[in-house]
Structure 1
Amino acid sequence: MESAATQPPVHPSEGPHYNPVVTLNGWSLPFRMNGNVKEFHLVAEPVEREMAEGMTAYLWGYNGQSPGPTIECVEGDRVRIFVSNKLPEHTTIHWHGMILPCGMDGVAGLTQPAIPSGKTFVYEFDAVKSGTFMYHPHGDEMVQMAMGMMGMFIIHPKDPTFMPVDRDFVFMLSAYDIDPGSYLPRVMEMTDFNMWTINSRIFPDVAPLVAATGDRVRVRVGNLTMTNHPIHMHGYDFEVTCTDGGWVRPEARWPEVSIDIPVGAMRAYEFDAVYPGDWALHCHKSHHTMNAMGHEVPTFIGANKAEVAKKIRQVQPEYMPMGTKGMADMAEMSMPLPDNTIPMMTGWGQFGSLEMGGMFTVMKVRDGREAGNYEDPGDYEHPPGTVAYEWTGALAAAPTAPAGSADGSAFRKSDVRQIKMSGSDHSGH
């Protein structure tokens, strides 16, 4: 890729027709037909991934990027995938969730010999089941996945009338621990990650999902981080229609506005884009919508740092005391940062700072959007009278809860005094 922009979907020129997916900040791997076999070529190699403007990570991936390009085929296709290893160590590829011969499952030492550095192996199998799947190494897995080796694999239904949608988006959730000012992930980290990404991009440089009013939209999300992610989309309710185990039967679907994506799993949800606007789409774990998130920062809310700030400025004149009223100031102030580091809270919208980062993007629904157009339409033009505004008139006193306990009885000062004297603890002893 010449840039990290989302590449327009490419419809197949050979083989069965399908409606291609749109990979956020990515692209789909080209194929060629060799007789009745659909051939792909994956190259495992060190890559440089721009997570956002001003920050690049040195990762391992496929065909020049991490995550690797999306692979697409059709149910019933015979696929042949050449995998060339340009890493400094051996590798394999496991086709996560797919039904295939045991010897094609990609587990080093168990189902195949590992692919040595500099060698090419071939995987060949029939795409017997449609759905959304993933691919990743199953050799030195802890290091290689922590370095970014992963991708999505889409098998479209053979029957084009089964589960049709107008717009079909796919992206991968991944996490990294990259110290400010550095480029390489710390591969031994298991809990305190600081870069939470959508297709190895962080807000504000995650591409939006763009749809036309009235479109049927599917969003496919894979998770190869070490924790679950409750993905929440504003403005809509939706139905979960697919997992990596297969399509969800209509009678088993349920309405949601957030769907939890477990570790090593994917979920797909669908909705009708009937409400125009710029609707936030993000992980609902608050630290996962931050960049370069530190986990040992003390809480200074309510503290008076005026005197200590004077002393610190004697040796560091640019020191700014922050955090005494919350962290929102960090999103609006330009503070010196180490090279190759993104602010923790960033991003601007038409009304000011978004104070976001990491796993955050926007679902943009617009009237009159032509099919196949995925360009960012810019800020939403709100109809008059539909934006929250400041009230400057008089207000009646706000209601408060009546004094008393949960059953309505008064809670007397003498009761409090008696509890303190008895030394009662929370266990009731």
Structure 2
Amino acid sequence: MTAIAAPALSRGLPEAPVMTEATMQPPLHPTSGPDYNPVVTLNGWTLPWRMNGDWKEFHLVAEPVEREMAEGMTANLWGYNGQSPGPTIEAVEGDKVRIFVTNKLPEKTTIHWHGQILPCGMDGVGGLTQPHIPSGKTYVYEWQLAKSGTFMYHPHSDEMVQMAMGMMGFFVVHPRDPQQHRVDRDFVFLLNAFDIDPGARVPRIMTMTDFNLWCWNSRLFPGIDPLVAAKGDRVRVRVGNLTMTNHPIHMHGYDFAVTGTDGGWVAPEARWSEVSIDIPVGAMRAYEFDAVHEGDWAIHCHKSHHTMNAMGHDVKTFIGADKRLTTEQIRKLVPDYMPMGATGMGEMAEMSMPLPDNTLPMMAGWGQFGPIEMGGMFSVMKVREGLAAGDYSDPGDFDHPPGTVAYEWTGDTPDAAQAPGASEPTPKSSHDDHHKRS
């Protein structure tokens, strides 16, 4: 590895750009080599590179980072180049890539290039295929990209801690043929999860299943960017899962074709239609659709607890309980006390109850018709007529055509319909007379 990397080292390390903004950055279009339509990372960015001869060189820095998870909450995580997840790496099938990894963590690390076909010594499993990267040192990974597709990167050194702290990122390899698998808009995001007590900033690293913050790219709704598309666009969504459970991702308003997995592209004759696609642990799925239906379409995990923020697991159920008398007594001691849960939890989305510092309400977000009552793994696919090709800005609320919004009915309620062939109900008086005669 040292002999191969020596020519690059004579030029010094490539720049290691840092991004601290939590908003989605514009796509990074190629300036040399084969053309491709770059991806857009939700609340993220693509890592710039330099060309050094035949090698495309990147520089990742593993380091402690601060990540705003949504307005009002910031977490102290570990990540790359200023963010968690780290920046998306983009390249082209057949490229020779050289990736410098500098470790600024307080412990050793490595990077595993999840799903890539590469020499064993570049696979990034500390102790097995390479020495661990000590704190303060820089190691080099280099190989030729064998195939196009969607891949991930994450540590294979103290993996439980480092992934729980937010160390992960996407690696997208575009086809050599610019027309192969081409779409108009290509979105990527990772599913990750944290257990952070309200008021705290550092995740609990020993949590196995009871996470309280379910994220897309370390962000929580309403802090997750919308996915914006122009009407008529061919749209691809690539979703990677590095949490501890599966996630059925459901998108409203469309059916879509599953076109990719970690293993590669799904042949056209083998693709299947879905409206929800389950993303297994440690896996990626890509799906595509034609954006023909305008609107603001919800996209979310269909595990209902995964669309909540700061979810407590020991909350009592009070549905149906009359808490009025109890509320009166408690308010004598705590004037601002607000009872919750007697009629469900939707009221929490409208309450302005005090919260501990550095946490979020369980339900959040407002739309043009009121509270959305969601959190966690939730966003909106916004399809609009006439958007420019490179326009990913939020177009605002959808202007519904007249007569296309559900409305309140104030007229008479029709009688319940009878099933075909069902007998008419026996009048009560006749039933009573029959009972008396018997």
Sort the TM-score into its range (normalised by shorter chain): over 0.9
Local SS of the residue matching 2:326: helix
* Residue 333 (structure 1) shift: 0.7
Amino acid at match of 2:252: H
**CA separation in 2, counterparts of 1:10 and 1:261?**
27
Query: For residues 9-408 of structure 1, what are the structure 2 equivalents within 5 Å?
Result: 9-399=27-417
**1:388 counterpart letter in structure 2:** A
Counterpart in 1 of 2:22? 4
* Aligned-residue offset at 1:15: 2.4
Q: SS of 2:328's equivalent?
A: helix
Amino acid at match of 2:312: G
Give, in angstroms, the shift of residue 5 of structure 1.
1.1
Give RMSD over aligned pairs.
1.2
* Secondary structure of the corresponding residue to residue 269 of structure 2: helix
Cα displacement (A) at 1:315: 2.0
Give a deviation string over 1:341-378, Cα, whole Å, max 9, x none.
11000100000000000000000000001101100000
User: Please, which runs of 5 or more residues in structure 1 have no aligned partner?
Assistant: 405-429
Instruction: Kindly provide the CA deviation profile for residues 52-74 of structure 1, in whole angstroms up to 9, marking residues without a partner as x.
Output: 01100000000000000000000
For residues 139 and 36 of structure 1, what CA distance do their matches in structure 2 show? Answer: 30
Aligned-partner Cα distance in 2 for 1:91–1:396:
67
Match of 2:6 in 1: none
AA partner of residue 22 (structure 1)? V
Q: CA deviation at 1:262?
A: 0.3
Runs of 5+ unmatched residues, structure 2: 1-18, 423-438
Partner deviation per Cα, 1:297-356 (whole Å, 9 max, x = no partner): 010000111222222222211111110000011000100000001100010000000000
Give the conservation status (yes or no) of the 8 Å contact 2:62–2:79: yes
CA contact (8 A) 2:363 2:374 kept: yes
Q: Which amino acid aligns with 1:117?
A: S
Question: Is the Cα contact below 8 Å between 2:241 and 2:280 reproduced in 1?
Answer: yes
Is the 1:14–1:33 Cα contact (8 Å) retained in structure 2? no
Residues 400, 177 of structure 1: alpha-carbon distance in 2 compared, 3 angstrom cutoff: farther
SS in 2 for 1:377: coil
Say how many residue pairs are matched.
403
2:418 and 2:329 map into 1 onto residues whose CA distance is: 44
Report deviation, 1:14: 2.2
Alpha-carbon deviation of 1:401? Answer: 8.2
How far did residue 2 of structure 1 move? 4.6
Amino acid at match of 1:112: Q
Give the 4+ runs in structure 1 shifted more than 4 A. Answer: 399-402
CA contact (8 A) 1:15 1:33 kept: no
Looking at structure 1, the residues matched to 160 and 386 of structure 2 have their Cα atoms a distance apart, in angstroms, of 46
Structure-2 change in CA distance of 1:336 and 1:400 (3 Å): farther
Paired position in structure 1 for 2:10: none
SS of the aligned residue for 1:5 comes to coil
